Amino acid sequence: MSYEIQQDGKFKFIEVGQGEPLMLLHGLFGAISNFDAVITHFSKTYKVIVPILPLLELDLLHTSVGGLQKFLLRFIEHRNLNNIHLMGNSLGGHVALVHILKHPERIKSLILAGSSGLYENGMGDSYPKRGDKEYIRQKTSLTFYDPAIATDELVNEVFEITNNRLKVIKIIALAKSAIRNNLGEDLRKIQQPTCLIWGTSDTITPPFVGKEFNRLIPNSELHFIEKCGHAPMLEVPEAFNAILEGFLQKLKTPAATI
């Protein structure tokens, strides 16, 4: 499904629906299309916002998790958003974590799917390999439990990016920044309700990473989805949406009175 990309000043984003903001942050090779099912489902009851992160547009000095978090802060302030349900997949989850640790005041809840921030099988070593589409196909398919999810269209998008030398340098910079920026014990400071949604077949941020996030983030709940890799909202959207719906519904329920 295609959505109108809006522009407000320097910021490009998608905004669909009304209600509390549900903000979605994509990963290193993510795209808005990764969130199609989430946008369709939740835009009926929430204002779903997908900022287009400038992963490959920042200058090299600021091509880092910290640089992306500063961009996110400027976007939130510029749009004057509050009570945000902040969701991130992979690198997007890492950016969300850094943001909530630095600026928790506008965030109502946190949702992480296959997030980096503790450990990940980085792609900044042998990947991306330029000029070899089958290698790119193989690497891309590792993101999913079902390799058929790595369609020709998706592989071509990644292949095009990896054939640009400057973009490759920035991808490696972001991947290495994510590995260096290990949040560890700082995660204990997060007070917002947190939903962790993990694929049992995630090879990039394996299941033990989800368990460690669950151990470290005080008010967190962990959900595993079988036969699912690193991008559950794309690979198993119905199961993902059901978990997220249940989590958000609990936040709407008034506290019981005694």
**pLDDT tens digits for 110-144?**
999 999 999 877 544 444 455 677 777 777 777 88
Indicate left, alpha or beta for 235 from its phi (over 0: left) and psi (-120 to 50: alpha): alpha
Cα 226 from chain centroid (whole Å) = 19
**pLDDT tens, residue by residue, 169-219:** 887 888 888 888 889 999 999 999 999 999 999 999 999 999 999 999 999
The reported pLDDT for the residue numbered 227 is 95
Residue 56: CATH number of its domain: 3.40.50.1820
Q: Is the pTM value of this prediction over 0.75?
A: yes
Report how far residue 232's alpha carbon sits from residue 241's, in angstroms, rounded to the nearest whole number: 9
Whether the per-residue pLDDT at 67 is higher than 50: the answer is: yes
Using pLDDT thresholds of 50, 70 and 90, give the confidence band for residue 253: low
The verdict on residue 140 lying in a domain is no
Residues 71-103, buried b or exposed e (16+ Cβ, 10 A)? bbeebbeebebeebbbbbbbbbbbbbbbbbeee
SS3 for 70? helix
Residue 177 domain-assigned (yes or no): no
Domain count, the chain: 1
155 SS3 class:
helix
User: What average pLDDT score do residues 5-31 get?
Assistant: 91
Q: Mean per-residue pLDDT for 6-24? A: 96
d(CA 123, CA 145): 18
At residue 30, the pLDDT reads 67
Q: What is the mean pLDDT of the chain?
A: 88
Cα–Cα distances in Å, from 182 out to 53, 67, 101, 155, 221?
A: 21, 15, 13, 29, 21
Q: If we measure between CA atoms, which residue out of 256, 223, 31, 248 comes closest to residue 113?
A: 223
Q: Identify the domain containing residue 58 by its residue range.
A: 6-120+182-250
In a domain, 132, yes or no: no
Distance CA 23, CA 228 (A): 23
| Between 33 and 44, residue with greater pLDDT | 44
Task: Please give the pLDDT value at position 232.
Answer: 96
Residue 11 predicted with pLDDT over 50:
yes
Cα distance between residue 211 and residue 245, in whole Å: 21
The confidence score (pLDDT) of residue 133 equals 78
Instruction: Tell me whether residue 202 is in a domain.
Output: yes
Window from 34-43, 53-62, 92-101, 223-232 with minimum mean pLDDT: 53-62
Residue at 151 is within a domain: no
Is 256 among the domain residues?
no
